[in-house]
Chain A
Amino acid sequence: MEAVTFENVKFIYREDDPAYAVNGVSLSIGEGQFVAVLGRNGSGKSTLAKLINALLTPTEGKVTVFGMDTADAKQTFEIRKSAGMVFQNPDNQTVASIVEDDVAFGPENIGVPREEIGKRIDFALDAVGMQAFRHSTPSRLSGGQKQRIAIAGVLAIMPKIMILDESTAMLDPKGRREVMDVIKKLNKDRGMTVILITHFMEEALEADRAIVMHRGEVVMDAAPEEVFSRSEELEAYNLTLPRAAYISKKLAEGGMPVKGAFNAEELAEEICASLQKI
């Protein structure tokens, strides 16, 4: 079964809004996929994410999560258990003064028995590599660590889908790496369906699939390498290439026989190859 489907979905925040925030989106995301969602601020990415776990319901069309219709209020609870969401600011997502209490908050609220909660805290903190901080105070952790606790809080509900709405935006490069490593591991080892909304083109390269949104519509939907090879289109949607891809493109335009590179190593490889061919 598909994890998420959108059937011609439209969404408008207020009736007098001139434009739909999401405007006629149809797509399906298979279970276990790692999907990156790109687009300018205001392109509808966050609205799309909120439509998945029924924080918003479509104005028109239909969204399903494992076959459950998000517009059906009786299913809302099950949908939110299946699709967990991590937001941008780590400081807005902690509710308790001790890490393990914070992680326990979700399962407590859905009525998980006490003994089971202990197991889930173990599982979730192990998964994000934060077991050693179980009894720490979240406010004394780094941004990356806090965000991993936020992820653990979602994991403790045992969702099948994890939605991350610019969850790395406020982190330093090290924190960002930590969070990306955790996400990739959850996707690879546990088959977690991951939907990653990001402004970092480099992060999108780590996904299986990249979706580009522009003015509420899905305008590109392909493997990240393919999306980044269509640079004119990307530019039209006000997105940029990853730096290495930009450099390789400019070198090729200058006549050098380099293929498109997506990271510094590939770029160096291409440059060396074309220099040594001479």
Chain B
Amino acid sequence: MRIVAKDLTYTYNPKSPFASQALKGVDIVIEEGEFFGIIGHTGSGKSTFVQHLNALIKLTGGSLTVGDYDLSDKKCKFLELRSKVGMVFQYPEYQLFAETVEKDVMFGLKNFHKGMAEEEMKAAVKEAIGRVDLDYEDVKDKSPFELSGGQRRRVAIAGVIVTRPEILILDEPAAGLDPLGKKEIMQLLHAIHGSWCKTVVIVSHDMDEIAENCTRAAVFSEGKVVMEDTPAEIFKRSDELISLGLDIPVTAKCARVMKERGIEIDTDFTCDDFIAKTLALWKGQGGGNAQ
């Protein structure tokens, strides 16, 4: 399903002294199959935007279509849409509530597919728990609160992917995890991305994460999309990002300093590419042969 937003606007607390316009005309197209990144600092409108995608926030201005679902149409089948567009909030482990992992993961399924047989549901839960690299037999009867932080986050993700959403949206999926936990979560998302889940959208403050993982990204600032491109092109414009108060990947920081010294490097800013290109540059100049 393709996501197309045109001139999306949204105001919190309209017609009140606290009115604040979070979206000021957002245009964005996310193609099916992308691993899309959304960047922007706190208050830039990125969360407001993603909450539109499964109609958690109802459209008030502009147009938005997700596949064949037209969200400006009041007759749009919102329940169906929500089962196809999964949303994982920041720190989703705080939303776990059931007494066992199995019941928690099953909750969404029960609500979306009321007529589904118990056996069928159990099978879907088992698959979802397996998908997030947890041992079903080991965890199913445990309380989610007995698990470690990283495991709890996986359970929360399982609870969303159990309905097999075609689009999965995650707000800061790796925040607060230790470095290895971060890496594992991203690997998990790539594995899910290759299956029935065709599109992944992540909101992230971690520019290295965006550079390493995304096919394309959009930069939000003051309620608008100011850049929409591949990470390689976006991070070439590091001056602009810095002036927007955003961070840039370590590789881009390094490339900036090198450029000031007159050394240009043509990289996509992933670690591996940066290392390969730097070594190539060095060898190209005869490095390694001199001794």
- Interface positions of A (Cβ within 8 A of B): 39-42, 88, 142-143, 166, 169-170, 172-175, 199, 201, 238-240, 243-244, 246-247, 250-251, 254-256, 263-265, 267-269, 271-272, 274-275, 278
**Beta-carbon contact of B91 and A41 below 8 Å:** no
Q: Which residues of B contact A173 (CB under 8 A)?
A: 41, 205, 246-247
**Beta-carbon contact of A269 and B181 below 8 Å:** no
CB within 8 Å of A: which B7-45 residues: 41-43
**Beta-carbon contact of B250 and A40 below 8 Å:** no
Q: Which residues of B contact A142 (CB under 8 A)?
A: 42-43
A178 vs B180: C-alpha distance when bound (angstroms): 26
With contact pairs A88-B176, A199-B178, A278-B285 given, residues A172 and B42 touching in the complex (Cβ less than 8 Å) = yes
A184 vs B179: C-alpha distance when bound (angstroms): 23
A274 vs B281: C-alpha distance when bound (angstroms): 11
Render B269-280 as a binary contact track against A, CB cut-off 8 A, 1 for contact: 001001100110
Q: Which residues of B contact A250 (CB under 8 A)?
A: 271, 275
**Which of the residues A169, A239, A275 comes within 8 Å of B281, measured between beta carbons?**
A275
Render B107-123 as a binary contact track against A, CB cut-off 8 A, 1 for contact: 00000000000000000
**Beta-carbon contact of A275 and B282 below 8 Å:** yes
CB distance from B243 to the nearest CB of A (A): 14
Q: Which residues of A contact B205 (CB under 8 A)?
A: 172-173
**Which of the residues A239, A268, A275 comes within 8 Å of B257, measured between beta carbons?**
A268
**Beta-carbon contact of B288 and A247 below 8 Å:** no
**Beta-carbon contact of B175 and A255 below 8 Å:** no
CB within 8 Å of A: which B158-202 residues: 175-181, 183
A264 vs B260: C-alpha distance when bound (angstroms): 14
**Beta-carbon contact of A255 and B288 below 8 Å:** yes
**Beta-carbon contact of B279 and A251 below 8 Å:** yes
> Which of B43, B249, B254, B261 has the largest count of A CB atoms less than 10 A from its CB?
B254
**Beta-carbon contact of B254 and A41 below 8 Å:** no
Q: Which residues of B contact A40 (CB under 8 A)?
A: 178, 180-181
**Beta-carbon contact of A251 and B149 below 8 Å:** no
- Interface positions of B (Cβ within 8 A of A): 41-43, 91, 148-150, 175-181, 183, 205, 208, 245-247, 249-251, 253-258, 261, 263, 271, 274-275, 278-279, 281-282, 285-288, 290
**Beta-carbon contact of B263 and A272 below 8 Å:** yes
Q: Which residues of A contact B251 (CB under 8 A)?
A: 243, 247
Q: Which residues of A contact B181 (CB under 8 A)?
A: 40-41
CB distance from B53 to the nearest CB of A (A): 21
Q: Which residues of B contact A246 (CB under 8 A)?
A: 271
CB distance from B148 to the nearest CB of A (A): 5
A19 vs B284: C-alpha distance when bound (angstroms): 54
Q: Which residues of B contact A174 (CB under 8 A)?
A: 41-42, 245
**Which of the residues A143, A240, A268 comes within 8 Å of B180, measured between beta carbons?**
A240
Pull 15 A–B residue pairs with CB atoms less than 8 Å apart, ordered by A: A142-B42, A166-B176, A172-B41, A173-B41, A173-B205, A199-B177, A199-B179, A244-B250, A247-B275, A254-B275, A265-B253, A271-B278, A275-B281, A275-B285, A278-B285
Q: Which residues of B contact A251 (CB under 8 A)?
A: 275, 278-279
8 tightest Cβ-Cβ pairs between the two chains A and B: A268-B257, A264-B253, A240-B179, A243-B250, A169-B176, A254-B279, A173-B247, A264-B254
**Beta-carbon contact of A278 and B286 below 8 Å:** yes
**Which of the residues A143, A201, A268 comes within 8 Å of B258, measured between beta carbons?**
A268
**Beta-carbon contact of A256 and B279 below 8 Å:** yes
Q: Which residues of A contact B91 (CB under 8 A)?
A: 170
Q: Which residues of A contact B257 (CB under 8 A)?
A: 264-265, 268-269, 272
Q: Which residues of A contact B271 (CB under 8 A)?
A: 243, 246-247, 250
Q: Which residues of B contact A39 (CB under 8 A)?
A: 178
Q: Which residues of B contact A271 (CB under 8 A)?
A: 254, 258, 263, 278
A265 vs B261: C-alpha distance when bound (angstroms): 12
**Beta-carbon contact of B278 and A256 below 8 Å:** yes
Q: Which residues of B contact A41 (CB under 8 A)?
A: 148-150, 177-178, 181
**Beta-carbon contact of A169 and B287 below 8 Å:** no
**Beta-carbon contact of A247 and B254 below 8 Å:** yes
A174 vs B44: C-alpha distance when bound (angstroms): 13
**Beta-carbon contact of A278 and B282 below 8 Å:** yes
Q: Which residues of A contact B246 (CB under 8 A)?
A: 173
Q: Which residues of B contact A275 (CB under 8 A)?
A: 263, 281-282, 285, 287
A250 vs B247: C-alpha distance when bound (angstroms): 24
